[in-house]
Each structure stands twice: as C-alpha cells, then as structure tokens.
Amino acid sequence: MKGDIQLKQHVLEELAWDPAVDAAEVGVQVKDSVVTLTGHLASHAAKYAAEEAVRRVPGVKALAVEIDVRLPNDAQRTDADIARAASNILAWTSVLPADRIQVMVEDGCATLTGTVDWNYQRLAAERAVAGLYGVVSVANAIAVQPAIAANDVKERIAKAIERQAADDATHVAVDVKDGVVTLRGSLRSWAEREAASEAAWAAPGVTEVSNIIQVNL
C-alpha cells in the first residue's frame, strides 16, 4: 500500500502529464488514500479530464472534486447558444434515441432530462454536452427506463465480469433486487472497478447500480 505522500506525488505527476489539464491550477490533498482536488479550471471538460487522470492512478480509494470552473472571456457563450448547440449534438449522436432528451441551460449549467433505454445512452448524452464551450457543469437527470427485465440478471453479470478478467477477478459479489444491482468485494484498480460497474449496467432491466467494491492493492 502506498503512503499518502507518495500517492499525492503520483496524482500530481499524472495531472501534469495530462495535456488537457492545467495542473498548476489544481491543488491536491490526500488523507487515508482519499484524494481531494481544489482550485479553478477554465472549462468543464478540463475538470472532467482532471477527474479521469486521478482515476488512472492506482491506490486512490475515493475522490472528492472541489474544483470551480471559471470560463475565460473567449469561452463564454450565451445560455441560448449553448442550449442550441447541445440539442443539436444530442440529435446527431447516433447511439441516442431521437427526441427523448431535453436540455435546459442556466448560467452555463446544463441539465439533461428525459428517458433512455440504457445507461450507456445516459452517459453518452452527458459526455456529448460536457465538452461544449460555455458549459460550467452538467446535471444528468436522465432516467433509465429499461424496455425488458430479465430474471437471470445476477448470473449474467457475474459471467460478464469473469469473461473480461485475465485472472482472479472473482472477488465480486453481485446482488439484484427490483432492478437495483449491488456490487461488493474488492478489486485491484479503479479501472477494474469501473469495468465491473459497466458490466452490471449492461444487464437488461437494470435501473441503478450501487458499486461498493473496494480498491485494494
């Protein structure tokens, strides 16, 4: 297990390594392997990139993001322009169902509402607007309304996790109740933890995934 000082060093190096992040603007605190990011960045996309960078570092148990987005003047857009660009990109995104997602923008904060069949569509919609000029934050209130529910979901999730594992990834316990999947156990990295989440979301009939898998090195 890494000490907090070494972990902090790795997080700082990874932020500096990522060309999408202005690392000088980000402060890093680490306590008991929980990382807190503070500071100001120039876009929501950069904030998103900073979060992703921290997730690549093994040994991070949890992440708190207290970064403000402060748009430089040339990145400001009116709410009306942002809303128009957002609905245009959503309409053109091939994996999204047509006309089922609404966008509202207020002071650069975009709120997405509506329903989709799958969580990957919900995430695709969020990603599509997250990188737009003028966006300060994205609230994703899209609901997942599955078309069908399967009864052998638990078994199918466990099998999917197993299929992807190169070796012993079978420390994950899967529980399913009323479309809510709970994942427990321990894995060795955030990437494996995310992969388990994704596998669970891919099951038909799932409306929510509660991932309480611990990351242990």
Token output for 203: 């099951």
154 is a site residue for another protein (CB under 8 A): no
Q: Does 165 bind another protein (CB under 8 A)?
A: yes
What's the closest the beta carbon of residue 207 comes to another protein, in angstroms?
14
Beta bridge partners of 38: 27, 66
Q: Check binding of 213 to another protein (CB under 8 A).
A: no
Closest CB to another protein among residues 20, 63: 20
Distance CA 4, CA 203 (A): 37
Judged by CB under 8 A, the residue of 163, 168, 177, 178 near another protein is: 163
Among 26, 37, 132, 196, binds another protein (CB under 8 A): 132
CB atoms within 10 A of CB 76: 12
Which has the closest alpha carbon to 7: 50, 84, 47, 60?
60
- Tell me the residue type at 127: R
Which residues between 42 and 81 bind another protein (CB under 8 A)?
Answer: 43-46, 49, 56-58, 75
Q: How far is CA 64 from CA 48, 152, 168, 197, in A?
A: 12, 35, 29, 19
Binding site for another protein (CB under 8 A): 10, 13-14, 17-20, 43-46, 49, 56-58, 75, 85, 88-89, 92-95, 117-118, 120, 124, 128, 131-133, 156, 159-160, 163-166, 189, 199, 202-204
